[in-house]
Amino acid sequence: MTARTLQLSAIKGLGPARIQALSQTGVHTVEDLLMTLPARYKDTQTLTPIEALRPGQTACVHGWIDAAPRLARFQGRTLVTARLRDETGRIRVQYFNQPWMANQLQQDQEVLLYGPVTEYRGSLQLTSPSIEKEQGLIPVYRALPGIKSGTLAELISRALERVDECVTESLPAGTRARHQLCEINYALRETHHPQSYETLAIARRRLTFENLLMFVTAMRLNRDTAREGTPLEIPADAADRYWERLPFPPTGAQRRALNEIASDMRQGRSMSRLVQGDVGCGKTAVALGAILMCVKAGFQAVLMAPTEILARQHLESAQKTLSAFGVSSGLLVGGMKTVERRQALAAIASGEWQLVIGTHALFSSGVEYSRLGLIVTDEQHRFGVRQRRMIEDKAVSHPHVLVMSATPIPRSLALVMYGDLDISTIDEMPPGRTPVGTRIVPEQKRGGMYRFIRDEAAKGHQTYIVCPLVEESETVDVPSAQQVYAELSAGPLSDLRLGLTYGSQSAEEKARTIADFTAGKLDVLVSTTVIEVGVNVPTATIMVIESADRFGLSQLHQLRGRVGRGGGVSWCFLMASPNERLNALVRTNDGFEIAQEDLRQRGPGDLMGLRQHGQTLPPGMKEGFDIGMIGEAAEELKYLKQPGAEADYALVKAEALRRYEQWLSQITMN
């Protein structure tokens, strides 16, 4: 039977109100509903005897209610307690604020209970376990606005009965054979109602591979429609002459990246290239080389940074490096005085400034450029596609685009995240950089850490202390920057010179504090993550991160990169209890390894930098993201684009456009 589009109204129990609720989440057809995958599964097929239960596990226990449940009330709250027995022992069962459970359980009732095992005063208990009616792997769905999780499960079960009517196989038979993938309808049945862990793994692998293949294909189609660009006249030896004038020899990776950029900008197609690499690998030097080539070819360049601190840091680097080549540069940031901004706009429009460095102000109204040929975006993950396109639109013709990221990404993941960009990876560090030692510091050793900070200050070394909050919070029990500054100034570090900076400070106060720290007028800088990027102080040898468990691994690695820039021994102290994430940071200084671990633990996060603008992740990418399969999907696309596979490629291309065309137009137009 040929599959056809089946409307939601065909499913029993889906009235106008629920159809509208589903539509608002992007579910418009029965097929869309079937693609709403379970968030997790309850394993009620594996039974655990009471004597084998351990605190912290979630278990399914079969037994009998030992006595009639008791209902207690106290301070407006309720507690239902009962005892469950099996052949191996007894355990307490409790439900907070669920008084109806007193009527759900009866003495000597045979039950199947599923829930977390906790410990209270040395005794184990099941806390708010669900009463299960069947054994198996039971799907659990995320509730949608207007539709509860249980209701969604019932609706999907009914939709599954119509799967053959509305779902068409979207992968070519050859693709399925090459990668040993099951058919789509089997995958959907087993994903929603799995027979076993083995069949579930087979099903989820199929759906994950399909999601990645379709997304990679759509991004490649988007890139293949790249606009024509202006070819720049760049001499063949331009990169070599640039490196010869610098006071340090480039690494092989830096040379390779700049040569790739030069080759791109010589073409008649607008360059779109990502330069990614670890903190301190020399991306800025590569970007300045690209800017020099652009300016010498008669065009203007822009360098956009996410913070004013980083923008000023780039201006200092640019003036130090490019002034020797006769390149003029200037700064445009928000909050400038009227006269200062007017002068900056005039210098930009006239071309007096060949390089313009700034923040979001670079694409604000009133900014006009003179022959804008190159846009460099630093810390790409903080901007996203939409903001990048806003500044591109200010160019007369299609400019070349270079984006940088100090958040290293495994190349296979980068193929997905930056599918519209070519990728240059700087995977070598300049000689002389000593790895930063990292330690997790328990609270009882804080005093010893402060003594070490004072000893380092006596040697002329400086310390960062980073806090997750600016002000003290009633709802979050973590130290704030203001609180830590006040306590240290009056206590353990009162004999040192302390400074305080955070994002909401005035630009003048922030710049003054950073300048004092950079000049060595401060021993300790207490701050929020405002110093995560752009602050370069070679004499800073200690990074203290308060409540380190509240930060992501990649962000912790970025913060750690603020020290270790002077060639000596430096330390990063993580104030928190040990856990898997923090142990990974202690174990390695390799940013690529850390990024891989961060991705494994937390998922892909904000793909394409769209979430910060209120836009959704692409369809199908919220569930079943698998790091190891990204490269596999990219290789399959490469195979499908070879001669002889035209029919299979046409099938995949059509499906990719069906799923992602609207989403791609969203990121392109915005």
In order, the DSSP letters of 363-398 are: GSTT---SSEEEEEESSGGGT-HHHHHHHHTTSSS-
Three-class secondary structure of residue 101 per DSSP: helix
Q: Within 10 Å of residue 47's Cβ, how many Cβ atoms?
A: 15
pLDDT mean for each 10 residues of the chain (670 residues): 71 89 88 90 94 94 93 91 95 94 94 94 92 92 89 93 90 96 96 94 93 85 70 94 92 95 91 84 93 96 87 90 95 90 94 94 88 85 55 74 77 60 82 84 93 95 90 60 92 94 83 90 92 77 93 85 83 91 87 72 47 41 60 88 94 88 56
- The residue written with tokens 């027979």 in the block is 195
Does this model's pTM top 0.85? My answer is: no
Q: Provide the H-helix boundaries in 272-374.
A: 283-296, 308-322, 338-350
Backbone angles phi, psi at 238, to 5 degrees: -60, -45
Distance CA 140, CA 153 (A): 7
Q: Are strands 123-127 and 110-120 parallel, antiparallel or unpaired?
A: antiparallel
Q: What are phi and psi of 640, to 5 degrees?
A: -65, -25
Q: What is the DSSP letter of 529?
A: G
- DSSP lists the bridge partners of residue 525 as 464, 499
Residue among 184, 165, 143 at smallest CA distance from 10:
165
CA gap 115, 352 in Å, rounded: 69
pLDDT of residue 613: 36
SS3 281: coil
Q: Would you state the pLDDT for residue 385? A: 54
Q: What is the spatial distance between Cα 194 and Cα 533, in angstroms, rounded to a whole number?
A: 47
Q: Are 268 and 397 in contact (CB under 8 A)?
A: no
Domains (range + CATH), the chain = 1-44+149-167 (1.10.150), 46-131 (2.40.50.140), 169-225 (no CATH), 238-426 (3.40.50.300), 437-600 (3.40.50.300)
Quick one: how far is CA 571 from the chain centroid? 26
Q: What is the helix, strand, coil percentage profile of the chain, to 5?
A: 45, 20, 35
Check: CB of residue 545 under 8 Å from CB of residue 529.
no
In the prediction, which pLDDT does 423 show?
81
Residues 246 and 325 sit within 8 Å (Cβ to Cβ): no
C-alpha neighbours within 13 Å on the C-beta side of residue 372? 23
What is the model's pLDDT at position 360? 86
